[in-house]
Structure 1
Amino acid sequence: MPHTIFLDAVGTLFGIRGTVGEIYGRFAAEAGVQVNAQQLNQAFIESFLAAPRAAFPGVKPAEIPAREFAWWQAVADQSFTKVGVIDQFANFDDFFKVLFDHFAKPDPWIVYPEVLQTLQQWKRQGIELGVISNFDTRLHSVLDVLGLAQFFTSVTISTAVGAAKPQADIFEVAIAKHKCSPEQAIHIGDSWSEDYQGAKAAGLQAVWLYRKEDSIEPERSSADSIKSLAELQFSSD
């Protein structure tokens, strides 16, 4: 029985309803810009992966929301640039503000089927729960509107900490909030490098969550892995 279970957010607790390209494309169409959603989604993935991790060490807390907004706007700008339509927006700043705010609402997200029941079970067993995420401070609103905030004692976000997974610092900050040793905690996430390897390197127990069969690669098949959070059961004895 672990003292604390930490979970990643996007891809672990909840995911995008559809694709980012579809959502970006729908908002673009409302702004009068037509774009292929599949091409835009690929451009987003490439732009997101090429961006530096969302962490702003040394930045004052009051300045973090503006830095987060600028970080995501740069990713979106690059995405629309890649598909050749960025110049078609009358005012990209105004367009992106609406798009950015949309992702703090419940509409773009879907909670995975087993999540609520599993979190309830772990809480009944007296396990403390926390979130460790490389998202941004909108996560607090998202957890709330999705009915998940009630389960978590702590929420540790890279932009607020100034360090992003797989850096050990973000795991250490999260652990300190629960007054337990790393060995008494488990971290679960869908990213092999950021969640599984990052947590292991920081001294936590780690479980890799893969929801798609085709996400398994040979060198990863021997790792502690699950397809659903419901597979992780603990005895109260």
Structure 2
Amino acid sequence: MYGRVRWVLWDVKDTLLRVRKSVGEQYCQEARRVGLNVPAAEIESAFRCAYRQHSRLYPNYGMVQGLGGQAWWAGVVQNTFSQCGVFPDSEKALQGCVSLGLQLGVVSNFDNRLEGILRGCGMLSYFSFLLTSEMAGVAKPDPAIFQLALQRCGVAATSVAHIGDHYTNDFRTARSLGIHGYLIDRKGDTRPPEVPTQYRLCSLDELPMRLQQDTH
């Protein structure tokens, strides 16, 4: 069914990178700087409500309405994902994939700030291309964003693997197109029974060996 893997596509948020602080913590800290004392829990709750409302009114960063990522986030909150940290297993996994001779790309439901974030984390050079939902005009789980990524790869879906943390957005959609889908679940609490054991990852440390089996 599957061919030899040549490309590896990566989800970013909660796969390679994580937010260091919650939204409430980040903005509670900023509020104190200007003399406001608002509990972090209140800010967190208010942000989640505003985020859901804005997402419903202006999906995928308001591309259809002509907003774009910058204006979209300005309508919700500034720089929510600006403080990102790298999971300890991320860079080693990327290096392992490169050592196997694989080419890497990104498919992410993110806006176009992603390039700067990956550059700041020292990870941008690993990737041949970045494809954000803002750039593509569609967001996962729409298969169209994966189809655009496959065009960038220039190979058949059976020669591509994808790694992500979301069962529907990442694993199921990738697999529906014939891509090797891997589900990363560091907490061990998101394991639908239909995900074969060989495609479940508790850590990205496991990935290069799994991919090596698929490159021969």
1:202-234: CA deviation from partner (whole Å, max 9, x where unpaired): 331211111112x32554665631111111111
Q: What are the residue-to-residue correspondences of 1:112-123 with 2, within 5 Å?
A: 112-123=87-98
Counterpart of 2:14 in structure 1 is 11
SS at 1:177 equivalent: helix
Residue identity matched to 1:183 = T
Number of residue-to-residue matches in the alignment:
205
State the TM-score, normalizing by the size of structure 1.
0.77
Q: What are the residue-to-residue correspondences of 1:182-197 with 2, within 5 Å?
A: 182-197=157-172
Residue identity matched to 1:35 = V
Residue identity matched to 1:169 = A
Are the aligned partners of 2:19 and 2:81 in contact in 1 as well (CA < 8 Å)?
no
* Unaligned residue ranges in structure 1 (runs of 5+): 77-98
Offset, 1:34: 2.5
Instruction: State, as a whole percentage, how many aligned pairs show the same letter.
Output: 28
| Residue 137 of structure 1, aligned match among 97, 112, 120 | 112
Instruction: Tell me: CA distance 1:197–1:48, structure 2 relative to 1, closer, same or farther (3 Å).
Output: farther
Counterpart of 1:157 in structure 2 is 132
1:105-146: CA deviation from partner (whole Å, max 9, x where unpaired): xxx111000111111111011101011001111000001010
Instruction: Tell me: CA distance 1:45–1:19, structure 2 relative to 1, closer, same or farther (3 Å).
Output: same
* Unaligned residue ranges in structure 2 (runs of 5+): none
Residue identity matched to 1:31 = V
Are the aligned partners of 2:62 and 2:72 in contact in 1 as well (CA < 8 Å)?
no
Counterpart of 1:54 in structure 2 is 60
1:43-75: CA deviation from partner (whole Å, max 9, x where unpaired): 43454355144255568xxx7xx5212322333
Match status 1:228 vs 2:213: no
Instruction: Tell me: CA distance 1:156–1:132, structure 2 relative to 1, closer, same or farther (3 Å).
Output: same
Instruction: Tell me: CA distance 1:212–1:159, structure 2 relative to 1, closer, same or farther (3 Å).
Output: same
Aligned equivalents of 1:122, 1:140: Cα separation in 2: 20
Further displaced range: 145-154 or 26-35:
26-35
SS at 1:132 equivalent: strand
Counterpart of 2:148 in structure 1 is 173
Counterpart of 1:23 in structure 2 is 26
Q: What are the residue-to-residue correspondences of 1:52-91 with 2, within 5 Å?
A: 52=56, 53-54=59-60, 67-76=68-77
RMSD across aligned C-alpha pairs, in angstroms? 2.4
State the TM-score, normalizing by the size of structure 2.
0.84
